[in-house]
Chains A and B, each alone.
Chain A
Amino acid sequence: DAGVIQSPRHEVTEMGQEVTLRCKPISGHNSLFWYRQTMMRGLELLIYFNNNVPIDDSGMPEDRFSAKMPNASFSTLKIQPSEPRDSAVYFCASRSGEGDYEQYFGPGTRLTVT
């Protein structure tokens, strides 16, 4: 298994531009999580899906952030418009389901907004 796949690995964009981060979870996993990691705030959960349905988006910082999971094998996190304070590493993670609480993280996308 290739593990959780994220793209792009690095993104540099100018303030005000739209940014789309992509994630492919491990096949068969039914939960997907988006995290953001910064030096100041550590690793924070933004939103998670269960069976493609958003369950908890209380960590999404503001309306500029949106996430979708159109099917079991793909999810996007979009920031529109982007701001310099959005600069961080964004991780996607997936989990298989009942009885297995381990989350498998992707390699992350390092976002820099100038």
Chain B
Amino acid sequence: SQKIEQNSEALNIQEGKTATLTCNYTNYSPAYLQWYRQDPGRGPVFLLLIRENEKEKRKERLKVTFDTTLKQSLFHITASQPADSATYLCAPSNFGNEKLTFGTGTRLTIIP
């Protein structure tokens, strides 16, 4: 069965440093992968989508990579700020299939 794992449940990073979150999947060949941010008591909010033919995608301080050989996506936040503290979820999927299967999430804390 499909399995999606995100690195360590919690990650603490010093403000100003780059935070790197990992999403690994098995028994799956997604055509694209989405990343969402979830704050406590709120629903997830979409951040970025990367397609299998895109090695890297950027949005402001965010960068996502997608390695279909390693079956892994990396999510980077550069120049991290305390406001970046949240849980980040990855969700691989395929075109023509609207279902999203979410990873376990990584709770990121940026320490001032």
List the interface of chain A (C-beta within 8 A of B): 4, 31, 33, 42-45, 48, 50, 55-56, 91, 93, 95, 101-108
* Contacts A102-B46, A107-B43, A108-B43 given; does A43 touch B102 at CB 8 Å: yes
What are 28 pairs between A and B in contact, CB < 8 Å?
Answer: A4-B43, A31-B98, A33-B100, A42-B103, A42-B104, A42-B105, A43-B89, A45-B99, A48-B99, A55-B98, A91-B43, A93-B43, A101-B32, A101-B34, A101-B49, A101-B93, A102-B46, A102-B49, A103-B100, A105-B44, A105-B45, A106-B43, A107-B41, A107-B42, A107-B43, A108-B41, A108-B42, A108-B43
What is the number of residues of chain B that contact chain A, defined by CB distance less than 8 Å? 19
List the interface of chain B (C-beta within 8 A of A): 32, 34, 41-46, 49, 89, 93, 98-105
The total of interchain contacts (Cβ-Cβ below 8 angstroms) comes to 46
